[in-house]
Amino acid sequence: MARLRRKACIALFLFTLFIFGTMMGLRTLKPSDGFSDLAPGLDLLPMIAGKVDRRSVSRDATTSPGQAHPPGTNTKAVISNSGPEGIIFYDVHIFYYTWYGSPHMDGKYIHWDHILVPHWDPKIASSYPRGRHMPPEDIGSSFYPELNPYSSRDPDVLESHMEQIGASAAGVLVLSWYPPGLADDNGEPAEDLVPALLDAAYRHNLKVAFHIQTYRGRTDQSVHDNIKYIIDRYGDHGAFYKFTSSTGKNLPMFYIYDSYLTPPESWSEFLTPTGSHSVRGSAYDSIFIALIVEERHKHDILAGGFDGMYTYFASNGFSFGSSHQNWKAIKAFCDGNNLLFIPSVGPGYIDTSIRPWNNHNTRNRVNGRYYETALQAALNVRPEIVTITSFNEWHEGTQIERAVPKKTVTRVYLDYQPHGPDHYLDLTRRWAEQFNKEKEQWLM
C-alpha cells in the first residue's frame, strides 16, 4: 500500500512538472504585465521625453547601380536573383548589421568577442561573470552562424547574406548606420562598407534603407547633416530605397533609432515646414520613422514632425511599443494623424550571452511559433510595411540568418532543430507572401 502511495505521489509530481513546463512555454507567446527592467538593445541611456500621404513601396528592377530611381513607378514586388521562388516584396524590411569582423579580413574578431555587459546595480553585477568572449569557439551569441564568426567585409559573406535575404522574400534591408569614423562601443567604423553593400544588394534586386543609430553628440542638426551626406553620396545608386507617395513623389526613408533621446522641440526644427533648418520641401526631404518605446512617445513623434513610427524590439511585452496587444491602438493613433505605423516582429529574443542578468526578457522561439504569432499580430493591424528584427543581430538572438548546431568544451549553442538552418528564412517568405495576399484584399 505504501509503495502504491509513493507511485501515486511520483505520478502527481511528474504531472505537475509537465503542467508547469507547458505554462512556461505558453508564457513566451504572451506579453508580460507592464515594463521590464531593461530594453533589449538599448544603450542604457535615460529616456527623454508637416505629414505625408499614405505611400506604397516602389522599385525599378532595370536601373543600374549608378542610376537614380525613375519617378512614377509603383512596383511592389519583383523577381529576385535569390531563392527558389524568386519573388521579393518591398513592403517587408529587415534590420541588418555590418559590425562583425574576423582575423582573416580585419586582423582580429570584432563584435563576436563582445564583452559581458555589467548590470548597472553593483550588487546585482557582482553575481554575474565579467570579461569578454573568445572566438571562434566562444562567441557573443546564444546561436552559432552557419558562416562561422564572419567578417562583414568578406565579399563572399555579403553575397551569401543577399542570397539569404532574397530567399526570405524581404525586399529592403535596413542598414544599421553610423557616420564616418564613428561606431558603437564594441565595434569599429564601417561606413566605408556601404558602397559594397549597395552593389551586392543591387545584384539581388534588393533595396537598402538606413537605420540612423545613436552616437555621441547626435542632435537634430547632426542628423540633418547625416541625411545630406547619405543622399549626396548614395541617393543615385540603383539599390537606394525610396518610398513612393500616391502622387508619385519618391522620397528616401530613414529609421531613427532611439529618437526619444532628442526632445520633440528639437526634431521639429528639422522635420516641420517652419523649422529653423527644415528639410521639408528641399532636395533632402524624406520619410522619417521614429522609435516608439513608451506610450507617451507617440505624441512626441507627432509633435516632432516625424512621418511614422516603428517598434524595433523583438521581445513581446518588454515595452508599450513592442507589445502586440498595443498595436491596434498605435495604428489607430497613426491613422488619425496621417502617420505610418510599422510594427517590428522577430523570431525570439535572448541576449544573455552579453547581458547574463537579462534572462527575464528572453522569448523562446518555440520552433517558430513565437515568430508566427508576432507576424499574425502585425498583419492584424493592416500595416503598409512590416519590419523584421533582425537578419543578423546575433548578440540578441533575433537573427533569421542561417544557424547551425554547435557544441564546444564549455558551451552548447542553441539552434533551429528539429528544423534546418533555413527555417526562419522560409517562415519569413511564407508570411511575406501572406501579407501581400491580404493587402490585395484590404484594397478591395
Asked, for residue 375, whether it belongs to a domain, the answer is: yes
Residue 444 pLDDT class (50, 70, 90 cuts): confident
Asked, for residue 2, whether it belongs to a domain, the answer is: no
* Cα–Cα dist 188/105, whole Å: 13
pLDDT at 263: 98
Residue 3 pLDDT class (50, 70, 90 cuts): low
Asked, for residue 69, whether it belongs to a domain, the answer is: no
pLDDT at 408: 96
Mention every residue, 6+ apart, whose C-beta is less than 8 A from residue 241.
Answer: 90, 172, 207, 208, 209, 252, 253
What's the domain count of the chain?
Answer: 1
DSSP 352: T
pLDDT at 249: 76
pLDDT at 371: 98
- Find the range with the poorest average confidence among 41-45, 118-122, 232-236, 254-258: 41-45
Question: In one letter, which amino acid is 420?
Answer: G
* Cα–Cα dist 373/369, whole Å: 6
Mention every residue, 6+ apart, whose C-beta is less than 8 A from residue 352.
Answer: 142, 358, 359, 362
Q: Name the residue among 170, 172, 199, 267 with its Cα closest to residue 227.
A: 267
- Would you say residue 208 has pLDDT above 80? yes
- Contact indicator for 163, 147 with CB cutoff of 8 Å: no
pLDDT at 9: 57
Please report, for residues 154, 263, 353, the alpha-carbon distance to residue 273 in angstroms, rounded to integers and kept in the order given: 43, 17, 45
- pLDDT digit string, tens, across residues 137-158: 999 999 999 999 999 999 999 9
Asked, for residue 64, whether it belongs to a domain, the answer is: no
Q: Using DSSP bridges, classify how beta strands 55-57 and 242-245 pair: parallel, antiparallel or unpaired.
A: antiparallel
- What is the mean pLDDT of the segment spanning 398-408? 98
pLDDT at 40: 40
- What is the mean pLDDT of the segment spanning 281-302? 97
Asked, for residue 26, whether it belongs to a domain, the answer is: no
Domain hosting 326: range is 83-443
> What CATH number does the domain containing 266 carry?
3.20.20.80
Question: In one letter, which amino acid is 81?
Answer: N
Round the average pLDDT of the chain to a whole number and report it. 87
Q: Name the residue among 218, 283, 206, 244 with its Cα closest to residue 71.
A: 244
Asked, for residue 241, whether it belongs to a domain, the answer is: yes
Mention every residue, 6+ apart, whose C-beta is less than 8 A from residue 166.
Answer: 80, 81, 82, 83, 88, 204, 205, 206
pLDDT at 307: 95
Asked, for residue 23, whether it belongs to a domain, the answer is: no
Mention every residue, 6+ apart, whose C-beta is less than 8 A from residue 85.
Answer: 169, 429
The alpha-helical segments, DSSP class H, found in 211-340 are 220-234, 264-271, 297-304, 327-336
Mention every residue, 6+ apart, whose C-beta is less than 8 A from residue 420.
Answer: none
Asked, for residue 382, whether it belongs to a domain, the answer is: yes
- Find the range with the poorest average confidence among 200-209, 243-252, 324-333, 366-375: 243-252
